[in-house]
Amino acid sequence: MYTSGRLFFLRTYPGLSKTIFSFGLAVLVATGAAAQPDSVQVKKARWTTKKIARGVKWKHAWFNDLYGSHQNIDILQIKPRRKISFAVGYEKKDLVTTSGFAERAHALAAINGNFFDVKNGGSVDFLKVNNELVSESQPEQGARARHQRAAIAIQDRGLSIVKWDGTADWEKGLPQQTIMDTGPLLLIDGREEALDTAAFNRVRHPRSAVAVTKKGQILLITVDGRNERAAGMSLYELSHFLRWIEADDAINLDGGGSTTLWIKGEPANGVVNYPSDKKTWDHTGERKVANVLLVMKRTSHK
């Protein structure tokens, strides 16, 4: 028997296989079995699904009681295909919204990128794009920050997640054309990475992540938070969740007010999650960021 949910009819998404009630009748959007363990809820969740392009699906679920809280989750699921590629949009100094980066790149979809200098702009982590060095990592107290100990690596159409090998300037030795430091690393080869007890890891926040499944699918994930309708997750909780959705490798991106998932052609200027920077439960609260991960659809004449 499913738990009941309060009705918050906010918006529908034309073309979805089921109409999404963002917080209406939670049982129609996600699993809400009162006594089920969190892992079972995730595995049995009723995701609403929309095809974005061949090999690209957008999935959404709202959980009434996951980790003892409301959770709102969006996933872009991408099967490797000849006409789908990945890229990074960036500015060295200016900050731009995720939707702004995506629109000017004519992207199919985008998620916010790595950590950045809010006051002065630019990434605070290593970033190389198409073999051009964009930024160096800025150490914290003379040591690598936890978000500088793993990276997203892009070569041609492929995307992988790479773990720091412990050496200095390790990123510069990686062969891929595009390297984006970020983190912490959450999963590698299906195993959860050890996380320290810093507040950044254990406190619930909106989260953004990238994962690769054993079948080679790429997942772009956002978890909304900082609202009574969505609590957000700790990184411990996010790691468990990613393993339950069969991620093999997974890495954390900048989160909090930066958390944004954009899909071309969707309402609200393409923003499909609920960014928290305006502290309102709508799609207008995007934070300007230094870079984004782009999903690109190659046209036949390219």
- pLDDT, tens digit, for every residue of 70-124? 999 999 999 988 899 999 999 999 999 999 999 999 999 999 999 999 999 999 9
Burial of 55 from C-beta contacts in 10 A (0-12 / 13-18 / 19+)? middle
Low-confidence winner among 3-12, 225-234, 249-258 (lowest mean pLDDT): 3-12
Closest CA to 72 of 208, 224, 204: 224
Longest CA–CA span in the chain (Å) reads 56
Give the 3-state secondary structure of residue 214.
coil
Whether 203 has a pLDDT exceeding 70, the answer reads yes
Q: What is the pLDDT of residue 300?
A: 54
Q: What is the pLDDT of residues 269-298, one digit of tens each?
A: 999 999 999 999 999 999 999 999 999 997
Using alpha carbons, list the distances in angstroms from residue 290 to 37, 93, 117, 198, 293: 38, 7, 8, 25, 11
Give the 3-state secondary structure of residue 6.
coil
Q: Residue ranges per domain, the chain?
A: 26-297
Whether 22 has a pLDDT exceeding 70, the answer reads no
Q: What is the pLDDT of residues 234-263, one digit of tens each?
A: 999 999 999 999 999 999 999 999 999 999
- In the numeric block, the tokens 């957000």 are attached to 232
Residue/partner pairs of 203-206 with CB below 8 Å, 24 or more apart: 203/234, 204/69, 204/231, 204/232, 204/233, 204/234, 204/237, 205/232, 205/233, 205/234, 205/255, 205/256, 206/230, 206/232, 206/255, 206/256, 206/257, 206/259, 206/275, 206/276
